[in-house]
A and B are shown apart, each in its own frame.
Chain A
């Protein structure tokens, strides 16, 4: 039950993009088309879960026993960069078509602050391994949901007349703000 609540909480109530405002760069950059939004969302979900688990292991196995927890941020950046590189190699070897479908997005995830944010939040809240993994899945789903919603709206807007001053980034940011306000409506529903 707790895991289910954690899943819903991380996907909707504490949506990583629209409530916590992490990972907004890929959120705005890759949400122009539905297809790219879905690819980016799935790739990020995969990395979020993997990086969450790996950083949890590094934290518990190395940093905590050596009383070097203050190095978390640095160590996690290192771990995430290496993990993404490794995942890229594995996917390229195992499934060339998937590798080409991910394209540039896989490398971009290295610099997605949502991944580092998830790792740091999980260790701050002292989640166990299962909770970290579920937290990763939920966060990834929330990220994908935000991207898909945004892409859907932006695809519709391509054929709409927009005042000159609102075109492009201004409109994207306004929509992001409105979406964020909508998601704020969930706040307090799950006390985690």
Chain B
């Protein structure tokens, strides 16, 4: 009995010891020298593993950065502070980078936009867009099914009560994952301080009027109202040059459809629903 126990303990103990020694020796011979900066870089990154940099995770980005295959500004989620830290580790200098956040370039909410059909399929904007261009009257409008909300790893997006996504500016890191999934390109990451036009439609004004009360009708009123020539209307759609715009707000006042947003804008509405369709 005792002999059996001793034999069992002895065998397993010696096997374990033998394997342990073997692994230690193997570890010596098979050790892979790794740049110590990789660990430093990985520590400086936010650790969100969001994949917005194009690599599988933060450690993948760190390795690529050290190997020279990724830019110092590659981590969009980390923002300016991370870029400065990475530049310090790599001994490079970078200028100040502006904070960037996601903006929703559509104002066609459930009150102002026309639905030309009732969509009854998979609750995903990409799937809805495949079905004859989606249920919305405007071919460039937000479908509001929340693919961007699903894609956001930081919980910065939610579908508001009026059926459009709302960006939580505090949480948004400007990683751009929402921008990638939106089939319409309605969400775009831009400088946090830049004013923008909340519409993407290039339809003639009359047609825009037929499908949406908040869309840009290309009337040129904003262009005329701007003293600094910051606004140009091209293809029936106004666009604002952030380099020239001083945020005076004259254009937004005169815009008949109120589709120009001057930033910093007040928070619009509290998000209430996530991932469901327009009411």
Q: Give the Cβ gap from B70 to chain A, nearest Cβ, in Å.
A: 15
Residue A75 at the B interface, CB < 8 A? yes
Contacts of A66 in B (CB 8 A): 7, 11
Closest residue of B by beta carbon distance from A103: B56
Asked whether B23 lies within 8 Å of A85 as measured between CB atoms, the reply is yes
A122-169 interface (Cβ within 8 A of B): 159-161
Asked whether A82 lies within 8 Å of B19 as measured between CB atoms, the reply is yes
Residue A20 at the B interface, CB < 8 A? no
Q: How long is the Cα–Cα vector from A134 to B12 in the complex, in angstroms?
A: 28
Residue B69 at the A interface, CB < 8 A? no
Asked whether A92 lies within 8 Å of B8 as measured between CB atoms, the reply is no
Residue A93 at the B interface, CB < 8 A? yes
Q: Give the Cβ gap from B260 to chain A, nearest Cβ, in Å.
A: 37
Asked whether B30 lies within 8 Å of A92 as measured between CB atoms, the reply is yes
Contacts of A93 in B (CB 8 A): 30-32
Asked whether B12 lies within 8 Å of A74 as measured between CB atoms, the reply is yes
Closest residue of B by beta carbon distance from A162: B122
Asked whether A90 lies within 8 Å of B7 as measured between CB atoms, the reply is no
Asked whether A71 lies within 8 Å of B11 as measured between CB atoms, the reply is yes
Closest residue of A by beta carbon distance from B20: A82
Contacts of B8 in A (CB 8 A): 68, 71
Closest residue of B by beta carbon distance from A94: B30
Closest residue of B by beta carbon distance from A86: B26
Q: How long is the Cα–Cα vector from A68 to B60 in the complex, in angstroms?
A: 46
Closest residue of B by beta carbon distance from A161: B122
> Quick one: given A78-B19, A82-B22, are A89 and B11 in contact (CB under 8 Å)?
no
* Chain A proximity mask over B4-28: 1 for CB below 8 Å, otherwise 0: 0001100110011001001100110
Asked whether A90 lies within 8 Å of B22 as measured between CB atoms, the reply is no
A51-66 interface (Cβ within 8 A of B): 58, 62-63, 66
Contacts of A92 in B (CB 8 A): 30, 32
Number of A-B residue pairs having CB atoms within 8 Å of each other in the complex: 48
Closest residue of B by beta carbon distance from A68: B11
Contact of B30 among A62, A75, A90, A159 (CB under 8 A): A90
* Chain A proximity mask over B93-124: 1 for CB below 8 Å, otherwise 0: 00000000000000000000000000001100
Contact of A159 among B7, B16, B60, B127 (CB under 8 A): B127
Closest residue of A by beta carbon distance from B11: A68
Q: Give the Cβ gap from B52 to chain A, nearest Cβ, in Å.
A: 19
Q: How long is the Cα–Cα vector from A90 to B26 in the complex, in angstroms?
A: 9
Closest residue of A by beta carbon distance from B120: A161
A25-68 interface (Cβ within 8 A of B): 58, 62-63, 66, 68
Q: Give the Cβ gap from B134 to chain A, nearest Cβ, in Å.
A: 15
Q: Give the Cβ gap from B54 to chain A, nearest Cβ, in Å.
A: 15
Q: Give the Cβ gap from A101 to chain B, nearest Cβ, in Å.
A: 10
Closest residue of A by beta carbon distance from B126: A159
Q: Give the Cβ gap from B184 to chain A, nearest Cβ, in Å.
A: 18
Q: Give the Cβ gap from B74 to chain A, nearest Cβ, in Å.
A: 18
Q: How long is the Cα–Cα vector from A75 to B16 in the complex, in angstroms?
A: 9
* Chain B proximity mask over A67-99: 1 for CB below 8 Å, otherwise 0: 010010011001100100110011011001000
Contacts of A74 in B (CB 8 A): 12
* Chain A proximity mask over B47-76: 1 for CB below 8 Å, otherwise 0: 000000000100010000000000000000
> Quick one: given A89-B27, A93-B30, A93-B32, are A78 and B7 in contact (CB under 8 Å)?
no
Contacts of B12 in A (CB 8 A): 71, 74-75, 78
Closest 10 CB pairs of A and B: A82-B19, A93-B30, A89-B30, A92-B32, A68-B11, A71-B8, A89-B26, A93-B32, A86-B26, A85-B23
Given A62-B15, A79-B15, 9 more pairs with CB closer than 8 A: A58-B15, A66-B7, A71-B8, A74-B12, A75-B15, A82-B23, A86-B22, A89-B23, A96-B32
